[in-house]
Amino acid sequence: MPVDVDALVDRRRLRRKLTFWRVATFIVIAGALIAGLAYVSGASNKRSAHIARIPIEGVILEDRKTLKMIERISKADAVKGVVVSINSPGGSTTGGEALFQALRELSEKKPVVAEIRTIGTSAGYMVAIAADHVVARYNTITGSIGVLFQFGNAQKLLETVGVQMEAVKSAPLKAEPDFYSETTPQVRAMLQSMVKDSYDWFVGLVAERRDLDPAKAKELSDGRILTGHRALEEKLVDAIGGEDTAISWLETEKGVAKDLPVVTWTPNSNLEELPFSARVSREFGNGIGSALINPIIDAKGLIPRGLTLDGLVSVWQASEAADNNR
């Protein structure tokens, strides 16, 4: 009986494809199960006494999920103390304000300490002083207390390419500043007034929270950056060290039990209210979805992060900080 070579080749190819997809499916399912079980294990840790770690990283924006998470922490009986772990150049002024207020409300129910890691400037520093004790490394970058409003002007570029922009306005200050015409003195005065209003509010927070004379707080709020060591000398932070130093303060000054585990809380991982089976099912689905969708999400550079910083910002080196954010 003659052998059909083409049929044999096709069968082998099909067998190899089936083997590949079986292995790939097994890996995805196994990864999802491992992630789900690991998550459920972490969720169970939140039911026993622990210190909650709140990571504040990258450019700060107003994030409702994070604010809701902080509210949940305030209601969690198992949380005996809170470490706010900061590594941020700052961000939007309203984002910093929202976090500051949420952490101040949290501190009425739980002892809160802030740990500034590599950088905690501008709105990042604003978040830090919401805590009742601030710890920084000797070489931490902090400070940069101030407010910024940035805008571009492409008037000359448009003239070069032959584009003329026109507008009909209800009043001269409507939709100002724009990007296609020279900024008038009236527009600059409006922006300066807005920046000063926000700046005075920020300086007031620093004076109040750090128990500084208003004149001294304003002197330190000229936009300068400081190392953690210099910030300690200027009373902008309370101690030099890392998370261990922050936890030691909770134990010695706030009566938090020693050797409690530190559990990181994140906005998307607080599902303790769901039944065990529902949590496993959810994480199983998330694992499969991540395996399939993450390669698409990881296509970077399509939308510059700097575009998300609209309005008043309190950030050290706004454009670079935004571009380099994680």
More confident residue, 35 or 91: 91
Residue 88 DSSP SS3: strand
Q: Where are the domains of the chain?
A: 5-146+223-323, 150-212
Predicted TM-score (pTM) of the model is 0.73
Percent of the chain with pLDDT over 70: 72
Give per-residue pLDDT as tens, 264-319.
999 875 444 445 444 445 554 555 444 444 444 444 344 344 434 445 676 666 45
- Please state the rounded mean pLDDT for residues 229-245: 98
Q: Vertex 272, ends 269 and 274: CA angle to 5°?
A: 105
Q: What tokens were used for 120?
A: 């905690």
Q: Vertex 144, ends 141 and 146: CA angle to 5°?
A: 160
Question: One of 68, 169, 174, 196 is an active-site residue; which one?
Answer: 174
17 is catalytic: no
174 is catalytic: yes
Considering the segment(s) 150-212 as one domain, its CATH architecture is: 3-Layer(aba) Sandwich (3.40)
Question: One of 122, 144, 198, 314 is an active-site residue; which one?
Answer: 122
Q: Which helix (H) or strand (E) holds 107?
A: helix 93-107
- The β-bridge relationship of strands 225-227 and 141-143 is antiparallel
Q: What tokens were used for 115?
A: 């740990």
Considering the segment(s) 5-146+223-323 as one domain, its CATH architecture is: Alpha-Beta Complex (3.90)
pLDDT class of 326 with cuts at 50, 70, 90: very low
DSSP state, residue 60:
B
- C-alpha to C-alpha distance for 114 and 51, rounded to whole angstroms: 13
Give per-residue pLDDT as tens, 206-228.
999 999 999 999 999 999 999 99
Q: Taking a C-beta distance cutoff of 8 angstroms, is the pair 305, 50 a contact? A: no
Asked whether the predicted pLDDT for residue 263 surpasses 80, the reply is yes
31 by Cβ neighbours in 10 Å (0-12 / 13-18 / 19+) ranks as middle
